[in-house]
Structure 1
């Protein structure tokens, strides 16, 4: 009853309505923990905690499970994990589609629109005339060369488990670049901050929604427009002998994924999770609380819940 009263105050809902909702959920849903996937980028960790904390307030048990970005979909399809709050089209479409075919469930899209691709700070427009066109960047490759890459430009790539194919894109488009992946997302921002402070040229992996867009001025490199055939048909695009000769989706989806067990064991929770819906500004703000303000993800989730009551109330109706 203490948990119910606390949640009633948190929601600003009438106590009788909240009691009805919670007792119904507990009677209907399993007492087993709902296993929420946690990955290695900030917004996903914070939003997973937002969802988890709200589920706990409705009487559910939650367990957070760390996972590789690609292998998580095998685990969801097998029923070893139950919920993923951020499925990005640009880097996860292929394993996500395979997981759906193997039994995972599409829990719907967020309002947020995503993009993941090469990105550079705005001051580089003067250094490399013709940007953001990728050919102009390639012509400027020597200005981005390092001791590590020799005469080739350095592209600071994402962690290897994020499933991107940038080395293949470099080869397919015959670019004078070399990808140098980082071990964790924080290294991307350290590299960017260091270059930005000295106004040195840099091109690196970035994505939106992200706190970066509020802190640094820059833009994405424009590669040949994405089409699904680029990933499966070598004849598509400028290189008839290679895949990946295109950019990433410029307006990609952000979806949610669940195990088939979710609706069977926790139908009330599944109904709630289908309604969970984040916008670009909300996701960027969630990431900024950790990456800019230095909060712990769990504390950032609590603050997000406090700041966005009108949003998550609609998910519980």
Structure 2
């Protein structure tokens, strides 16, 4: 237990029934860590809450798509950020096989899509229309893309289907994958100095919306099936001919065995719910304030006891 969770332990135990906590197994609750800041900080925050309740917690670095199979098999206990746009398909596939379940939604509403900082609109005034973006493709051209525009997509394992969308909508863009979320922020930051037009993958909630005002590109509206049935959408011969959901869910997932093996921890998990602003604040502690994720989680918990203490069975 860290020095931060030690401080939390007394408060949580004072608020909650020790009898309920005694029911939880002493085996470690396995929480996955991925490659974007809000998920890492949130995972540490919830892990520290569970530790303060007397649970053992283990963190493992996992692939953000394959994690649902790991949860289904019981190798991983939970997932705290199931983004509809990025991971909905993997989550649904695992649900159909059985072994994991929906553990409830966060209050946060998500969106993940092509995005640009507001200065980009000066060079392409028809934005946010995707047709206008395509007409302005040459504005985004670089040495590596020739006469085509450059779109910086998320890391490959996020499976954002940028290339499929470019092909489905016949866009004059080259899709380049960033190596990490940090590379996306670096791209925007580098473009800020001379107000160079850029279009990158972005999402909400995260800290970036407070640092760089911007807008999402408006693609053909997402409708059920446009990502899996060519007949659905504006191009009858292609999938991904649509944007991502504009008001996506942010869910939690749990191994089916969690509620019996760690009943108190499971009860807490079902109560965990963060807002857009809270998630953005947690990410900012790492991405802007440059705190280590574990320290950022502890600082956030210390500053927001009224948010989380009610989740621990008090």
Does the alignment reach a TM-score above 0.5? yes
Is 1:22 the counterpart of 2:7? The answer is no
Match of 2:296, SS? Answer: helix
Given the alignment, which residue of 178, 187, 194 partners 1:198?
Answer: 194
Cα RMSD of the aligned pairs, angstroms, is 1.6
The Cα of 1:8 is off from its aligned counterpart by 6.3
Partner of 2:139: 143
Deviations 1:63-111 (A, max 9, x none): 0011111111111111110011100001111000111122211100000
Is 1:111 the counterpart of 2:107? The answer is yes
Partner of 1:161: 157
On the 8 A contact 1:4/1:58 being kept in 2, the answer is no
On the 8 A contact 1:82/1:258 being kept in 2, the answer is yes
Moved more, 154-163 or 231-240: 231-240
> 1 CA distance for matches of 2:124 and 2:50?
50
On the 8 A contact 2:5/2:49 being kept in 1, the answer is no
On the 8 A contact 1:4/1:22 being kept in 2, the answer is no
Deviations 1:263-295 (A, max 9, x none): 121111111100000000000000000000010
On the 8 A contact 2:53/2:312 being kept in 1, the answer is no
The Cα of 1:10 is off from its aligned counterpart by 3.0
Partner of 2:128: 132
The Cα of 1:22 is off from its aligned counterpart by 2.7
Gaps of 5+ in 2: none
Is 1:65 the counterpart of 2:66? The answer is no
The Cα of 1:129 is off from its aligned counterpart by 2.0
Partner of 1:79: 74
Given the alignment, which residue of 72, 75, 96 partners 2:91?
Answer: 96
On the 8 A contact 2:31/2:57 being kept in 1, the answer is yes
> 2 CA distance for matches of 1:79 and 1:8?
27
Q: How does 1:1-317 map to 2 (within 5 A)?
A: 7=8, 9-11=10-12, 15=14, 18=16, 21-26=17-22, 28-102=23-97, 103-317=99-313
Match of 1:228, SS? Answer: coil
- TM-score after normalising by structure 2: 0.95
Aligned length: 309
> 1 CA distance for matches of 2:59 and 2:5?
23
Larger fraction in helix = 1
> 2 CA distance for matches of 1:67 and 1:5?
27
Match of 1:193, SS? Answer: helix
Match of 2:59, SS? Answer: strand
On the 8 A contact 2:5/2:298 being kept in 1, the answer is no
Gaps of 5+ in 1: none
Match of 2:81, SS? Answer: strand
The Cα of 1:4 is off from its aligned counterpart by 11
> 1 CA distance for matches of 2:200 and 2:288?
19
> 2 CA distance for matches of 1:291 and 1:270?
30
> 1 CA distance for matches of 2:177 and 2:216?
18
Any runs of at least 4 consecutive aligned residues in structure 1 with deviations exceeding 6 A, and if so which?
none
On the 8 A contact 2:10/2:52 being kept in 1, the answer is no
The Cα of 1:237 is off from its aligned counterpart by 1.6
